[in-house]
Amino acid sequence: MATHLFLDFDGTISIGDIGDKLFQTFGSFEPVHSQLIAGEFSVAEYYRRSVALLPEGCTPATLEAFANEQSLDPGFVPLVTWSKRSGIDVTIVSDGFDVYIEPLLRASGQRENVDVACNQLTWNGIAFAPSFPGASESCACFCASCKRNAVITRLGDNDIAIYVGDGSSDSCAVEFADVVFAKGTLAAECTRKGTPHHPYRTLSEVMIILQEKVGKGALRVRRQAVLARKRAFEAE
Ligand SMILES: [Mg+2]
Ligand SMILES: [Zn+2]
């Protein structure tokens, strides 16, 4: 039996949504973002359009410099360090891009301690192209990188999944997690759907609650999540 900690990136590990900020800074955030919110197209299509709108002169170096100006929740490094010490695997599940996630993880000193499932932005010397290695046809979510699949494919029988997130791209995954930490629109959605969750504001709070649960031996599987995982596997 292993324990896995899944962390959303934008707005959960990072302060604010860096993906949104990237396209606000370099691309043409509108009208494509409003069209996405209105359901006119999927996140993958939103990304294809937004990436096509990145201006000439925007290179990997530009985006790395932009990434290095962003900040992370100060509780991130202690949470990963404690998880590693406690034998808990950490996976970052993001519907954002490697171009800002990777530099920030390297700068935090934690790159070697986490696994990452996210979208990719590749540079061909002239322009960027997005790719979506975590895309799912079997999940009903609108995401480019399906977090549900990132979670369930990493879990063995009797493993425990802890999930921490803040937004709508996390909602397909939390149904399959045993312990859920939610803030922002994810918390509202969990409340609406009756998904048990711990409200939180910072990753330090998450760590305190987890340390208490581990100390008491109170980390355990959630029946509804186990059943949901079983059904998802059978449907694949
Ligand atoms: Mg988020
Ligand atoms: Zn999904």
Domain ranges of the chain: 3-15+71-235, 19-67
Nearest ligand to the C-alpha atom of residue 176? 2
236: pLDDT strictly greater than 80:
no
Residue with the bigger pLDDT between 236 and 112: it is: 112
Closest residue by Cα to residue 120 from 27, 33, 47: 47
Which pLDDT value is given to residue 63?
Answer: 95
94 Cα: distance to centroid of ligand 2 (angstroms): 11
Which pLDDT value is given to residue 235?
Answer: 76
Q: Give the dihedral sign, CA 69/145/92/76.
A: positive
The position carrying tokens 């292993």 is 2
119 Cα: distance to centroid of ligand 2 (angstroms): 14
Which CA distances in Å does 101 have to 53, 144, 159? 21, 16, 27
Q: What pTM value is reported for the model? A: 0.96
CATH architecture of 3-15+71-235: 3-Layer(aba) Sandwich (3.40)
171 Cα: distance to centroid of ligand 2 (angstroms): 8
Nearest ligand to the C-alpha atom of residue 93? 1
Q: What is the mean pLDDT of residues 129-157?
A: 92
214 Cα: distance to centroid of ligand 2 (angstroms): 29
Taking ligand 2, which is a single-atom ion, which protein residues have CB atoms under 5 Å away?
Answer: 139, 141, 146, 148, 172
Nearest ligand to the C-alpha atom of residue 168? 1
Which pLDDT value is given to residue 156?
Answer: 93
**Confidence at 13, pLDDT banded by 50, 70, 90:** very high
228: pLDDT strictly greater than 90:
yes
